[in-house]
Structure 1
Amino acid sequence: MNISGFIKKLKTKLNSDLNKEIDEDTLTKYDFGNIELYNNELNINNDLKEYINYIIIPYYQKNNPGKLNSKQYKFFKSTLTNSTITNAKEFQSVVIKYNPLYTEDDCFFANLKNYEAKYPEEANKFFNKILPFIIEQALKLPEYLTKPIPLLGKNMNIAITINKLQALSLLANQFLCIFTDENHEIYDTPPCSFITLFSPMKPSLDSTVEKIRTVIHYFDKMRKRNLEEIKSELLTYQRISLNKESLIDWKNQKKGLCSVRIDTETSIEDCKGMMQVDFANWYLGGGVLTNGCVQEEIRFTINPELFVSMIFTQCLDHLESAYIIGTERFSNYTGYGRTYAYGGDYDDNGTLFDNMNRKETEIVAIDATLFCTPGIPQYYEQFSNKSVMRELNKFYAGIKENKYSDLEKDIYIATGNWGCGAFNGNIELKALLQVIAASVVGKNIYYCPYDKTEFADQFGLLLKKLKKLHTTTDILFNYIEEYYSKVIQNLPKNSKPEVTLFNYILKNIENINNENNKKSEEEKVKEKESKIKEKELNENNNEKKQEDIKEKKMENEKEKEDIKEKEKEKEKEIEDEKEKEDIEEKEKEKEIEDEKEKEDIKEKEKEKEIEDEKEKEDIKEKEKEKEIEDEKEKEDIKEKEKEIEDEKEKEDIKEKEKEMEDEKEKEDIKEKEKEIEDEKEKEDIKEKEKEMEDEKEKEDIKEKEKEKEIEDEKEKEDIKEKEKEIEDEKEKEEE
């Protein structure tokens, strides 16, 4: 079967399986278990094997992923080990040999070329020491991994565990661009080849070059380790899928709010001993192999063993998450987005190992919904019940109880502004949804808001007031529903809500407090009236006392009126205070907006200064490069002149050799012509002999024909003579 036919058959099988899963919602009920590839075993229940697909792995047959393709392996080995690679251009040429669809254009491998230009010493070490190690480890894949890798597919609860050495070899094959897009096209896994990291679709960014530096540091660090020892260190890659039966009834979950700690100084990756959230793309890794460089991309870059998950994890669906245990952090970094930079080595020895000998680093990849940009009406649809339920279920899929996790049940979840960057999530809504989900599951939140300090203060204040009122998850869920129905749903087109979600909830809390205060005053009045009645009964027989009572009654009546008057005054004061608070709040919001505007202006000015500074540096760098180029050009000219002289000398030698060859060739031609003439003469003789034979044969035929004619003539005469005899005989008889 040809490859295109195989792929078509494979797609048909996959689509058939997926349809079965989606229609029946059955696969999510099965547990495919933890497949122990570190032991080179496929410990899969026989009843479930029909649902397993295997990804295409380098050096193995495509239609039989468990069998080595020896011819292909020899080709890759020969190409990689017999080629000299001392720079990015030579590396590019080697990659093109086994990826002929790629090109020799200058933009191809531009990021790696920029790395080479910007960090020449590091690049020299990379090409001479680190790259040979990467090639060696890539080619050891058939030795390290003898079983095919199952696809972590949609609607499956499945995990695979590999060792650190197998992960190193798989990542080396990704780095060398030996993995292609075939798995992405067939199985809808993320594109996992580093070709897109080396070759930018857009102009090369410094942050992308820094990502390459960070990954190279991983290989350099692994190069110096005892590889036999790291065989025992394990990594688990898990896919979690929910079915409809296991979903939570969020509206009716009456759970107390969990503990929430807010820390503006700490990053998620520094929260040891906690479940750490990766603000994921539905394709794991997001833009890590292109120009992307935000939370998920940075995490993959500093923990490079996360890259391996991209090889075999199918695109995540709405009720799914990915859970990865045991990856090691290798690098520090500075900046974020376009300012990201490699920050040197990170020592992760302080992270302990669990009972399976995995690093106690547990990362859960949860992809939020991508919403419209703020200002567009559809942006506010994220407050709708449908969107809220989707995000709660999605977050729950990531943080629910997990039998492969070694963390305590009530641990902290290190999270933050999940889905609030490029995915345009509302930061207040997302924070409260994470609190609801964690509270229902029985875990706590360690919130890292990064530079959102103003939001952090508001969030802390709101949580404090909610806790004081003993608010439960159902009440908080109801606040969000009310906010959508009362504020968002009736919002005029192209306008913003007058009140934020946090402020809406705070006003509700304030109203509850006012009602509680009012009830307290009324209870005091009732208590006083009760005492008066009691006194009236006790003094019923005494006239004077009765008069006193009447007098007292009048006083009490007056007191009641005074109390009512005071209540009215207090209500008026509360209303005035509320009005004043609203005015102050609006003024504060205006101040915040003005402050933000000033900060934006400052930031733009700062960016402009940075750009100007960078431009100056670029000009200096270009001038320096020009000097180097001029110097190089002079050397090239000298070298060229030397080459021309050498070339001329070679040409003279070649010319003499050519003359000798021509002379010899002429002699050969004459000899050949003589042979041809002799051959022709022989052929003429043969032809003549053949003609003579043919002539003789013709004469023989003619002679035979003549003899035949004579015989025929004689035969005719004999017949005539016979007839004559018969006639004579007859005549005689008649006589």
Structure 2
Amino acid sequence: MSIPAFYTLPNSPTYACLDRFSILDEGHENADGHVPVWPLITKILEQPVAHTSHLIDILETISNTLRETSGVAGDYGTLKAFLDEHPSFCGNVWPRIRDAALRLPTHFPEASIPVLRPGDEVVLERDQAACLVAHQFLCTLREPPWRDGYFDFSIWYASGQRHRQAVEIYLTSFLTLFSELAPSCSVNSRPDQQVRYSLHSFKDIESSLPLNRGAAPLSPMHVFRLEDFTTRQQELEYQGPGGAVVVSANKHIGFGQSATQEEIYVGNCPEACPAVLFTPPLEDDHALTVQGARPMLRITGQRRDIAWEPLPIEARRGGRMLFMDALELDELFTSEGEGRLPDLRPENMDREIHKAVTAFSAWKGEGHRQVSIALWGCGAFNGNPAVKMMLVWVAASMTNVSIEVMCHISTQSGFADKFEPFMRGLSGGKVEDLMAVLDSLSTDDPLLQV
């Protein structure tokens, strides 16, 4: 698959479609009978929205016009029921969404966004990010060629959601952003008014690492037992200027319909959602950072057991998220008689260390740098928690980063109880000491039985 250099936006003159409902006056058609999409969108958005049903009409018209189907978002049952519970939407929130969307030519006069390559960074003013988020809500955007859906919010609209509570939380986060969006078209270059998306590769930073990596002292590492997982670690107040949180990502980063950590962290930060438009699949030595995307809520729990509470406006400051995809070890099998976990194969350990080193090298930070991480690459990815955290510890030590390991007190205390004494035993050690342990581990080692 060829990755384009740019992602094309709806205001591009090259983006055209049939005017199926004769919305535009005559004279807009080209030789193929197509009309430019942008005048169509602006005309559709002129329709008044006094009731939720009016919005659904607009979304269906957009879907039928741009995608030639009304089935993209199903019956819109979840969206309609959700908005019916928010009576201020039509009068307060909708005008802000519409106006933000209509500013596309102002914010993006080139009608495109560069697709990230390693070493690249896309910097968006908050108004620009809100503009793209508005179009994700309206479903006016083209699917990036590397994605199979999950690039706009149509996935949250139909009845019969697999996790309706999660979807309603993500829609609440979206409404919260636009409820307080200033009704202006500001241009502000202050760093705290920007969202930064950057792609990094191990190849680009390998030469900056110490030559004798084994001699690096082991970084501080602490295990925290949590009553519940929360999104507090993605808040700037928690991280501080030099902190970050690891997002256990898929190689196709982004939001979704359930409540994995990645889906929660991205869904809670609408300004992070546009990253799916210009971030190609992560390769084995790639990591994505998103800095400045503001969390709207404080979400507690994961999977089926989640809840949320409002986040005060002053606490809605975006920190730094490190998107790292782990190996899917359920697809790898131990060779007969090998006696070792797939996690411990040298090529697999190298891959995970390089991935984490790339993420932990992605920013300089101010003073002490600290990363919060859950049991990355475990769960659905089937990694062994002890091995994964040892590999993370190696990477953190190679990059002079301290680590907070977040464990659930009910379901992951067994790991914590074994790993904490192990860490104490290596106190004052070096990377080469930890690598020696990894090289000596076998499948039946007690440390791995968690």
Structure-2 separation of matches of 1:102 and 1:76: 16
Structure-2 separation of matches of 1:236 and 1:104: 34
Q: Deviations over 1:72-94 (max 9, x none)?
A: 3221111111254511x443332
| Aligned residue identity for 2:95 | P
| Aligned residue identity for 2:447 | L
Tell me which of 404, 416, 433 is aligned to 1:446.
404
Q: What SS does structure 2 have at the residue aligned with 1:372?
A: helix
Q: What SS does structure 2 have at the residue aligned with 1:93?
A: helix
Q: Deviations over 1:475-527 (max 9, x none)?
A: 211211221xxx33xxxxxxxx3x33368xxxxxxxxxxxxxxxxxxxxxxxx
Q: Find the counterpart in structure 2 of residue 137 from structure 1.
A: 100
Deviation at 1:333, TM superposition (A): 2.2
Q: Find the counterpart in structure 2 of residue 364 from structure 1.
A: 322
Deviation at 1:340, TM superposition (A): 2.4
1:168–1:480: structure 2 CA closer, same or farther, 3 Å change rule? same
Q: What SS does structure 2 have at the residue aligned with 1:81?
A: coil
Tell me which of 185, 190, 197 is aligned to 1:237.
197
Deviation at 1:460, TM superposition (A): 1.8
Q: Find the counterpart in structure 2 of residue 176 from structure 1.
A: 138
Structure-1 separation of matches of 2:314 and 2:116: 28
Structure-2 separation of matches of 1:264 and 1:386: 31
Q: Find the counterpart in structure 1 of residue 109 from structure 2.
A: 146
- After TM superposition, the structure 1 = structure 2 runs for residues 553-568 of structure 1, keeping only pairs within 5 Å, are none
Deviation at 1:388, TM superposition (A): 0.9
Deviation at 1:431, TM superposition (A): 1.0
Would you say the 8 A contact 1:321–1:365 is kept in 2? yes
Q: Deviations over 1:324-375 (max 9, x none)?
A: 2222222122332223233223334585xxxxxxx5x22211111112199x
Q: What SS does structure 1 have at the residue aligned with 2:120?
A: strand
Deviation at 1:114, TM superposition (A): 3.5
1:410–1:502: structure 2 CA closer, same or farther, 3 Å change rule? farther
Alignment root-mean-square deviation, CA: 3.2
Would you say the 8 A contact 2:124–2:195 is kept in 1? yes
Q: Find the counterpart in structure 2 of residue 458 from structure 1.
A: 418
1:203–1:412: structure 2 CA closer, same or farther, 3 Å change rule? closer
Q: Find the counterpart in structure 1 of residue 25 from structure 2.
A: none
Q: Does 1:111 align with 2:78?
A: yes
Q: Deviations over 1:400-439 (max 9, x none)?
A: 1x4xx35136411122211222222211111111111111
Deviation at 1:269, TM superposition (A): 2.3
Structure-2 separation of matches of 1:471 and 1:204: 45
Tell me which of 42, 45, 52 is aligned to 1:77.
42
Q: Find the counterpart in structure 2 of residue 719 from structure 1.
A: none
Indicate the structure (1 or 2) with the bigger Cα radius of gyration.
1
Q: Find the counterpart in structure 2 of residue 429 from structure 1.
A: 387
Runs (5+) with no aligned partner, structure 1:
1-10, 16-51, 352-358, 489-496, 504-588, 590-735
TM-score under structure 1 length normalisation: 0.52
Deviation at 1:151, TM superposition (A): 0.7
1:202–1:165: structure 2 CA closer, same or farther, 3 Å change rule? closer
1:176–1:296: structure 2 CA closer, same or farther, 3 Å change rule? same
| Aligned residue identity for 1:246 | E
Structure-2 separation of matches of 1:336 and 1:500: 28
Structure-2 separation of matches of 1:478 and 1:200: 53
Which of the pair is proportionally richer in strand?
2
Structure-1 separation of matches of 2:99 and 2:303: 33
Q: What SS does structure 2 have at the residue aligned with 1:217?
A: helix
Q: Find the counterpart in structure 2 of residue 398 from structure 1.
A: 359
Q: Find the counterpart in structure 2 of residue 574 from structure 1.
A: none
Would you say the 8 A contact 2:419–2:447 is kept in 1? no
Q: Does 1:163 align with 2:125?
A: yes
| Aligned residue identity for 2:39 | K
Structure-1 separation of matches of 2:377 and 2:212: 23
Tell me which of 205, 212, 215 is aligned to 2:164.
205
- After TM superposition, the structure 1 = structure 2 runs for residues 537-548 of structure 1, keeping only pairs within 5 Å, are none
Deviation at 1:203, TM superposition (A): 4.6
Deviation at 1:226, TM superposition (A): 6.4
Tell me which of 177, 183, 186 is aligned to 1:228.
186
| Aligned residue identity for 2:180 | K
Structure-2 separation of matches of 1:231 and 1:410: 26
Q: Deviations over 1:152-190 (max 9, x none)?
A: 14xx31112121111110110111111132x2x2x4597
Q: Does 1:281 align with 2:250?
A: yes
| Aligned residue identity for 1:343 | E
Structure-2 separation of matches of 1:234 and 1:137: 16
Q: Does 1:381 align with 2:347?
A: no
Would you say the 8 A contact 1:210–1:340 is kept in 2? no
| Aligned residue identity for 2:426 | L
TM-score under structure 2 length normalisation: 0.82
Structure-2 separation of matches of 1:62 and 1:309: 22
Q: Does 1:331 align with 2:297?
A: yes
| Aligned residue identity for 2:104 | L
Would you say the 8 A contact 2:249–2:325 is kept in 1? yes
1:85–1:226: structure 2 CA closer, same or farther, 3 Å change rule? closer
1:106–1:317: structure 2 CA closer, same or farther, 3 Å change rule? closer
1:194–1:85: structure 2 CA closer, same or farther, 3 Å change rule? farther
Q: Does 1:471 align with 2:421?
A: no
Q: Find the counterpart in structure 2 of residue 702 from structure 1.
A: none
Q: Deviations over 1:649-676 (max 9, x none)?
A: xxxxxxxxxxxxxxxxxxxxxxxxxxxx
Deviation at 1:458, TM superposition (A): 2.3
Structure-2 separation of matches of 1:104 and 1:115: 19
Would you say the 8 A contact 2:13–2:36 is kept in 1? no
1:143–1:244: structure 2 CA closer, same or farther, 3 Å change rule? closer
1:416–1:227: structure 2 CA closer, same or farther, 3 Å change rule? same
Tell me which of 360, 378, 385 is aligned to 1:420.
378
Q: Does 1:253 align with 2:218?
A: no
Q: Deviations over 1:657-698 (max 9, x none)?
A: xxxxxxxxxxxxxxxxxxxxxxxxxxxxxxxxxxxxxxxxxx
- After TM superposition, the structure 1 = structure 2 runs for residues 478-497 of structure 1, keeping only pairs within 5 Å, are 478-483=436-441, 487-488=442-443, 497=444
Structure-1 separation of matches of 2:135 and 2:101: 5
Q: Deviations over 1:579-629 (max 9, x none)?
A: xxxxxxxxxx9xxxxxxxxxxxxxxxxxxxxxxxxxxxxxxxxxxxxxxxx
Q: Does 1:193 align with 2:152?
A: yes
Q: Find the counterpart in structure 1 of residue 12 from structure 2.
A: 60
| Aligned residue identity for 1:91 | L
Structure-2 separation of matches of 1:254 and 1:364: 26
Q: Deviations over 1:557-594 (max 9, x none)?
A: xxxxxxxxxxxxxxxxxxxxxxxxxxxxxxxx9xxxxx
Q: What SS does structure 2 have at the residue aligned with 1:366?
A: strand
Q: Find the counterpart in structure 2 of residue 608 from structure 1.
A: none
1:294–1:241: structure 2 CA closer, same or farther, 3 Å change rule? same
| Aligned residue identity for 2:79 | L
Would you say the 8 A contact 1:190–1:310 is kept in 2? no
Q: Does 1:500 align with 2:436?
A: no
Structure-1 separation of matches of 2:322 and 2:72: 39
Q: How much identity, in percent, do the aligned residues show?
A: 18
Q: Find the counterpart in structure 1 of residue 24 from structure 2.
A: none
Would you say the 8 A contact 2:73–2:157 is kept in 1? no
Q: Find the counterpart in structure 2 of residue 638 from structure 1.
A: none
Q: Deviations over 1:84-127 (max 9, x none)?
A: 4511x4433322222223326994323213424xxx441x2223
| Aligned residue identity for 2:151 | C
1:215–1:70: structure 2 CA closer, same or farther, 3 Å change rule? same
1:279–1:106: structure 2 CA closer, same or farther, 3 Å change rule? closer
Deviation at 1:249, TM superposition (A): 9.5
Would you say the 8 A contact 1:251–1:474 is kept in 2? no
Which of the pair is proportionally richer in helix?
1
1:345–1:385: structure 2 CA closer, same or farther, 3 Å change rule? same
Structure-2 separation of matches of 1:465 and 1:387: 25
Deviation at 1:219, TM superposition (A): 1.4
| Aligned residue identity for 2:403 | I
Structure-2 separation of matches of 1:481 and 1:196: 44
Which of the pair has the greater relative contact order for Cα pairs under 8 Å at 6+ separation?
2
| Aligned residue identity for 2:378 | C
